[in-house]
Structure 1
C-alpha cells in the first residue's frame, strides 16, 4: 500500500485522502456494524459492505490523516438510533458508505471497499466474534478475537498520543435515514 491513498465514493464526487499506514486493519463482526451495513445497503444505489461471513472490513486511521479532498457537501451521517453515539458517514451523491466514527474517538474506521482490490490494505484481525453464534465457522486465515484485544487498544492509544491527544471534528451536512 502506498503512503497516501486517494479513495472515494462510487460516482467519484466525494474523494478522501488517507496518509500513512493505518493504525490497524480489521473486520468487525459486532451486531451494530452488521445491522448498520445491512441498512445502508438498502439505500438507492448503495453496495453491500459485508463480507460473505457478514464482517465489516475497515482500516482504522488517525483523524488527522484522513482529509476530505472533494464532495464535503455530500456527507451525511447515519445512526442506528437517534441516541447512538457512533455514526456512519455516507457520500449522499451515490450513497456510498465512507467511514465509521465512534463517539469521542480520535480515529476513523474507513471502509475497505473504497480501495481498488489490488491496493486494498490487508486485514490484520477480526474483532467481536463473540457477537456471532456461528463464530467457529469463521475463516481461520487471521485471528478471530472474541472482543477487541489489549493490543488493539494499545495501538489506538499510541496513535492518540502521537496526535497530541487531539480529536479533530468532521462536519456533516445532513442526516441519512436508512
Structure 2
C-alpha cells in the first residue's frame, strides 16, 4: 500500500483531499472530545454522519506530509469543541461535510474514514473505550484499549522519525 492514493470528498464534491501511502493508523476513538466533536458536526444543517453507530469515530491517521486538500481548500472551515481545544475539525462549508481533524501539537492529520472512496484499511485498534457510552457490543474486529494504548504512541513516534529522515 506504500504508493496507494486514497481520496476523500465532501458530499457535493467541491472539496477533495488525498492521502498517500499507508496510514499511521486506522483506528476508532471513543474519547470525550471525539464524541462531542461528532455531535457538534452532525448537528450542522445537512451534515453527513461522522460517528459510528456505537459512538466511536473511525479515523485514518496520516503524517501531515502525506495528507492534503487538493480541491476546495478555501471552502474548509474549522470547528472547535471549545476555545482552548487542541483539535480543529475541518468542515466543507459548501455542504457541511466533516473531512478531517488536525491536532495542533502533532505532525499528523486524522481524516474521517467515512469520507474515503476505495479500499479503506480495516480498523486496527479502538481507543479510549473508557468513555464509550453505547449499549451495543464492542466490536471484536481489533484490539481495544481503555486509553490510547502504547501501539498508537509507537506508531506516532516512528512516523515522526520517518518524516524527519525523509
* TM-score, structure 2 normalization: 0.92
**1:153 corresponds to which residue?**
153
**1:81 corresponds to which residue?**
82
Change (3 A) 1:165 1:82: farther
Does structure 1 conserve the Cα–Cα contact (< 8 Å) formed by 2:123 and 2:141? Answer: no
Q: CA RMSD in A?
A: 2.0
**1:21 corresponds to which residue?**
22
* SS of alignment partner, residue 163 of structure 1: helix
Report deviation, 1:127. 0.3
Does structure 2 conserve the Cα–Cα contact (< 8 Å) formed by 1:129 and 1:135? Answer: no
Does structure 1 conserve the Cα–Cα contact (< 8 Å) formed by 2:55 and 2:133? Answer: no
**2:10 corresponds to which residue?**
9
**1:169 corresponds to which residue?**
none
Report deviation, 1:136. 8.9
Unmatched 5+ stretches in structure 2:
none
Partner Cα distance (1:129, 1:149) in 2: 11
Alignment map for 1:35-46 (pairs within 5 Å): 35-46=36-47
Partner Cα distance (2:57, 2:121) in 1: 14
Partner Cα distance (1:56, 1:11) in 2: 22
Does structure 2 conserve the Cα–Cα contact (< 8 Å) formed by 1:18 and 1:65? Answer: yes
Report deviation, 1:39. 1.2
**1:70 corresponds to which residue?**
71
Report deviation, 1:120. 2.1
**1:50 corresponds to which residue?**
51
Partner Cα distance (2:13, 2:5) in 1: 17
Question: Which string of whole-angstrom CA distances, capped at 9 and with x for unpartnered residues, describes residues 5-30 of structure 1?
Answer: 12211110001111001011000011
Does structure 1 conserve the Cα–Cα contact (< 8 Å) formed by 2:44 and 2:96? Answer: yes
Runs of 4+ that moved beyond 4 A: 133-136
Change (3 A) 1:134 1:5: closer
Partner Cα distance (1:158, 1:52) in 2: 32
Question: Which string of whole-angstrom CA distances, capped at 9 and with x for unpartnered residues, describes residues 45-75 of structure 1?
Answer: 1011111111100001000001211101001
Report deviation, 1:141. 2.1
Partner Cα distance (2:97, 2:60) in 1: 16
